[in-house]
Structures are given as C-alpha cells and as structure tokens.
Amino acid sequence: METEPAQAGDSPKASASADDLQIDESKSVQEQLAHGKGKSKRTRSVSISEPQPTRVPSKFSKNSRRSRAGMGRGLPKKGGAGGKGVWGKPGAELDAAEIDSGDPNYDSDSMDDVQLEQVAVELTEDEIKQKMTEGLVCEYFEHGDTGEVDGSLTDHWDSINMHLRYLVVVTMIEVAMDHKSSHREMTSILLSDLYQECLTQTDITRGFETLLASLPDLVLDCPEAPVILGNFLARAIADDCLPPKFLTSHKGKVECRLAVQALDRAEHLMNMKGGMMRLDTVWGVGGPRRPVRLLVKQMTMLLKEFLTSGDSEEAIRCVRELEVPHFHHELAYEAVTMAIERSDDKSISELSRLLRVLSEAGVISINQMDEGFQRVFENIADIQLDVPNAYALLESLVMLAAQNEVISPDTVRKMPLRGRKRFVSEGDGGRIKDRSDVVPLQL
C-alpha cells in the first residue's frame, strides 16, 4: 500500500501512528490467510486519537418470549399462568372478573358501581289540579277512605312545590261544588283529616282566599257557589282548620260582591244559636242516617207539592237529593195510597204520570216499584175501611202502571180481587133463583 510522504509541517507523532497502522493491516491479512478464510474483510483506518465505540448488548435474547415487534407491556402471558389448555392461575376463577368497558356485553347501568338517587320532578299547576287531586277526590267519593287519600298525597308530596300546595284545597272544593250535598260533607271531613297531616293552616287559608277571588268564574258553572263556599268556610272554622279571625280580617278587604256574600253566609252560620253544633250538619243529614219518619214526611210533602205545581223535573231533583235509593219503594207506596185516598181522576192521572216519569228517568227501579205496589196489596183491606171503593181504584192504578211498564207482569197477577156476595148456589148451574122457587120454611 502506498502512503503519502509526511509533510514538513507534520509532527513526528503523526508519522509514527501511520507506520503502526500499516504494520497492523499486514498482520491481519496474514492471519486471515493462515486460518483459511477465503473472504477478505474490509478494514478502515481509524485514528488512535478518535474515541472507540462500545458494543451495546442486544435487548432480546435468543430464548426471550417478548415480542420482537415492540408490542405489549413486556409482561408474561396470563400473569405467568399461560400454556396450552390453561386459562389462568389455579383459583383465578373465584376472583371477580375485571370489567372491560370495551366488551360488547358491557352495560354501564348494571355492571358499574353506580348509585342512583331519586330526583323528585315538581308538578305543574295543571298536573296538581287535574291529574292528581281531581282524580283522588273523585275516587274518594266512591270509597270514602280518607286514609287512602292521605297516603296518596304523602307519596307525591315531595313533587309538589310548597308554594303550590294550596291548589289541593282549591281543587277539592271546586270538585265538591259540582256534586251533591253528601259529597260536600265528605269533602269537609277530608279537609279536616288532612289538616296537620299534609296540609297546614297556611295552605288552607290561601286556598280559601283563591276561591273567594275566583267566585266570578265559579258562579258561571255553579250559581250557588257563594252559598256553598260560605258553608265550607263556616265548617272549616268549626273543625279548627281556619281561625275565627279569618272572616273579620277579610270581610272589609274584599271588593267582589260574591265574595262578600260568601263571607256573610259564613258569619251568619257562625252567629246562630248553637252554631258550632249545627255546623256538623251544615250539608244536611245524609240519606242512610235520616230517621224513617223524617224520610216518610219528606216524601209526602214532595207528592203534595207535585200535585200543586205539576213540575216533574223538580220532583225528580228532590227525589235524588234524598239519596235513599234503597227506600224508594216508600215513595211508590205513598203515591198509590194518596191516589186512592183522594179518589179523584186528577190525582190518579198525575201520580201515575209521576211514577212513569221517575221510572223512565231511572230514578226509581222496577224492583222498588214492585215492592211499593205489593205493600199496597197487603194493606188494601185496611185502606178499604176508609175508602169503600179502594179495590176499584187500586185496579185502575195497577192497569195504568202496567200500561206504562212501571211494574212487572208478576206484580199485576198478584193484585188482590174484591170479595163479592154470592147470589147463585153452587149446584144450580148458574141459574138465578126466583121468589117462586123459594119454599117457605114450615114451622
């Protein structure tokens, strides 16, 4: 190999290193030939002054089970429990399975440790009045259990804003205005039972104030709204749901004429002699609780008023207000008896018309009519003592009732017949005897 001659400016150390490199290269070539290596190894000249590179050991050994692609965490498979036909370490099946959010069967609601909290959704004014309170009050009119209403309101009490709870009182009384007196009595009882259970005195007070302000609208559907509201006010004060000062504090402040009329009605009821005791029956005595004598008297007055006025619609309304459907047979009995005792054509035709109207309106059932007529059949012998032609009048009334389909055919067949004197003996073949046929008795 040719080498460039040293320049004049080169140092003696540089020339010495060049000679050493030539000697090393010649030795290496000789060694390769001596060992029989046919391939020549390319060498490069390296200066001694340059830093020699250090050899870095390989990251993966020959028997390493790590991925050569650089994937994975470098941990052993299955936690060191891998192998053919092996699913994990012994006892691993007893441990809780790790939840993987990437699993197709993953359900965040049931598989995660989630705690659900109940959130009460506040009801609107329309939902409080129509969907909840109105339905509860109508159901209460059917079963009459105040505890059930209290429980239903308590379950939904958190969803009703405390500033809107007075709407429960408003809705209860508005619904009662459209029903009969017995339902209004039930509403007063319900209001008294809900006081201090669900409703506070502030809720009841605000409810009545709202009703007083809305009387101009209520009177359109219920003309008697001021009187009814006055009765509710007086009854609430008697039941200690409202303070007595409610009337005095509001009487001089309201400007509506209807509201003043309701307050005057409540004040009049409170100032009556024994008013607190009478307010227990401010809605009247319910039908089943009325004495029988009082019911009979009211039915008799009803029939007399009908014979005077002839207003069948008013008679129907009065019968319904009695609220004694199980006692309607008494009305049929009194009507037939009165027609027989009066014994004039007008009374018979008018009372027959009344029974027909009551039957067609569905106020009195055919069973109650049959029972009333059968009671007349049983007492016709006593009635005949005062009215000699009672049997003939009864027969005409029964025929009219059967023609109008007021009574059943079985009742018509049960009608008693009047007894007659016998003018023909049984063995004469129906021939009437003459005086010549009578043989004088020989003494």
What amino acid occupies position 384? Q
Fold: same for 125-281 and 287-413: yes
Task: Name the architecture of domain 287-413.
Answer: Alpha Horseshoe (1.25)
* Average pLDDT of the residues of the chain: 77
DSSP string, 185-206: HHHHHHHHHHBTTTB-HHHHHH
Domain 125-281 has CATH 1.25.40.180: yes
pLDDT per position as a tens digit, 358-405: 999 989 999 999 999 999 999 999 998 888 899 999 999 999 999 999
Q: Which of 224-233, 245-254, 265-274, 409-418 has the highest mean pLDDT?
A: 224-233
How far the first Cα of the chain sits from its last, in Å, is: 204
Residue 18 has what pLDDT? 47
Q: How confident is the model at residue 133 (pLDDT cuts 50, 70, 90)?
A: confident
Judge whether residue 60 has pLDDT over 70.
no
As a whole number, mean pLDDT of residues 315-336 equals 89
Q: How confident is the model at residue 417 (pLDDT cuts 50, 70, 90)?
A: confident
The per-residue b/e assignment along 407-439, b for 16 or more CB within 10 angstroms, e otherwise, is bbeebeeebeeeeeeeeeeeeeeeeeeeeeeee
Q: Judge whether 233 and 219 are in contact, CB under 8 Å.
A: no
> Would you kindly state where each structural domain of the chain is located, as residue ranges?
125-281, 287-413
Residue 152 has what pLDDT? 86
In the block, residue with structure tokens 């049931």: 110
Angle at 24 between CA 18 and CA 27, to 5 degrees: 145
In the block, residue with structure tokens 């409810």: 207
| Least reliable range by pLDDT among 36-40, 203-207, 312-316, 323-327 | 36-40
pLDDT per position as a tens digit, 206-264: 999 999 999 999 999 888 999 999 999 999 998 889 988 898 888 878 888 999 999 99
Residue 252 has what pLDDT? 78
Q: Judge whether 45 and 19 are in contact, CB under 8 Å.
A: no
3-class secondary structure, 195: strand
As a whole number, mean pLDDT of residues 317-331 equals 87
Length, in residues, of the chain? 443
Burial of 191 (0-12, 13-18, 19+ CB in 10 A): buried
CB count within 10 Å of CB 199 equals 21
Judge whether residue 268 has pLDDT over 60.
yes
